[in-house]
Amino acid sequence: MYKGSVTEEAREVLRAIELIQLGARMPVLEKELTLSRNRLIRLYRELKSASPPKGMLPFSADWYFTWLPNIHASLFYNIFLFLKDEAKCSRLDALTRAYRLYIEHCECAETERVLSFTRAWTLLRFFEGGLLALTRCTVCSGRFVRHARDAMKPATCCICAPPSRAGVTRAMLASRELAQGAADTADSSDTPDTPTSSSKRRGTSPLSEISEAMRDTLAEVKRAVDPKRNAAAGSSGNAAGKPTSHPFLPRSIPV
Ligand SMILES: [Zn+2]
């Protein structure tokens, strides 16, 4: 049962609602608010129509050092620091407002929201615990998230020096392969069946080469085995009108 004043309790409930709407999990709510666990669970169920997820919060700081999370974490933490130090917001207000501003920024930039609210909160905890620190980039002079032990060493941020494969995701590679496959299929169905186009197609993909060769062989075998079909096909497909036979089959097969 809450022991404080009614107005303070109402404020706590409003804070809890805001945090839950932003995606805060139970350990975050329990750490930041003074409401009881049962009250928080009831609030969570009312707002999300589901029980709060179980499991541990992320505990490793390494995630913040990979290039894309590092950019998003640096952006969020710089907003947070501005709101806390310059706008004189309280820690919790600065956290929620900074996260809202971060979401707005992602929407305006039409980019994926990499930093979840839990990650943002964990980032704050790592800074408060002295595990992380901000370092000024030697190129753009922007401050970015770094391990505290490396904070004094000069370094370049991930925006100024992105890794060579930055932006290339597995999903992107898969979609590229799909697009390439679709282009190959369209190419093979649109072009007429001439020896030159066939050989060109064979050069594009080993799979199409096998299937094309198999198809040719099967057609030849059918013609060699069935003289009636062979005669009908010979009038349209074979210019000489002579029955063609597969080199590995006997010349004449008794019907
Ligand atoms: Zn930079």
Q: What ipTM goes with this model?
A: 0.98
202 and 130 in a common domain: no
68 and 34 in a common domain: no
126 and 66 in a common domain: yes
Say if residues 12 and 34 touch (Cβ distance below 8 Å). Answer: yes
The answer to whether the annotation marks 160 as part of a ligand binding site is yes
Q: CB neighbours of 6 closer than 8 A, spacing ≥ 6?
A: none
pLDDT tens by residue, 114-148: 999 999 999 999 999 999 999 999 999 999 999 99
Q: CB neighbours of 24 closer than 8 A, spacing ≥ 6?
A: 32, 117, 118, 121
**How far are the Cα atoms of 10, 26, 30, 82, 93 from residue 45, in angstroms, in the given order?**
18, 11, 15, 34, 23
The values of phi and psi at residue 24, to 5°, are -70, 145
Say if residues 71 and 159 touch (Cβ distance below 8 Å). Answer: yes
* Coil/strand/helix, residue 183: helix
132 CA → ligand 1 middle, Å: 18
74 and 39 in a common domain: no
171 CA → ligand 1 middle, Å: 27
pLDDT tens by residue, 17-73: 999 999 999 999 999 999 999 999 999 999 999 999 988 888 889 999 999 999 999
CATH number (domain holding residue 142): 1.10.10
- Six token digits for residue 246: 């597969």
Q: Is there a domain that residue 55 lies in?
A: no
Kindly give the residue spans of alpha helices, DSSP state H, lying in the chain.
6-22, 26-32, 37-48, 67-81, 91-108, 117-128, 170-190, 195-204, 206-225, 227-236
Q: Could you give the angle at the alpha carbon of 219 between the alpha carbons of 216 and 224, nearest 5°? A: 125
The answer to whether the annotation marks 137 as part of a ligand binding site is yes
Q: Which of the residue ranges 5-19, 73-87, 132-146, 227-241 would you say has the lowest mean pLDDT? A: 227-241
145 CA → ligand 1 middle, Å: 11
Task: Specify the pLDDT at position 59.
Answer: 84
71 CA → ligand 1 middle, Å: 10
Task: Specify the pLDDT at position 140.
Answer: 94
161 CA → ligand 1 middle, Å: 7
pLDDT > 70? residue 187: no
75 CA → ligand 1 middle, Å: 12
Task: Specify the pLDDT at position 237.
Answer: 43
Domain count, the chain: 3
- The predicted model gives 214-238 an average pLDDT of 49
Q: Is there a domain that residue 146 lies in?
A: yes
Q: Is there a domain that residue 156 lies in?
A: no
Q: Is there a domain that residue 21 lies in?
A: yes
125 CA → ligand 1 middle, Å: 24
Task: Specify the pLDDT at position 102.
Answer: 96
Q: What domain range includes position 139?
A: 62-150
The number of beta carbons lying within 10 Å of the beta carbon of residue 41 is 14
Q: Is there a domain that residue 160 lies in?
A: no
Q: CB neighbours of 114 closer than 8 A, spacing ≥ 6?
A: 68, 69, 72
75 and 34 in a common domain: no
144 and 76 in a common domain: yes
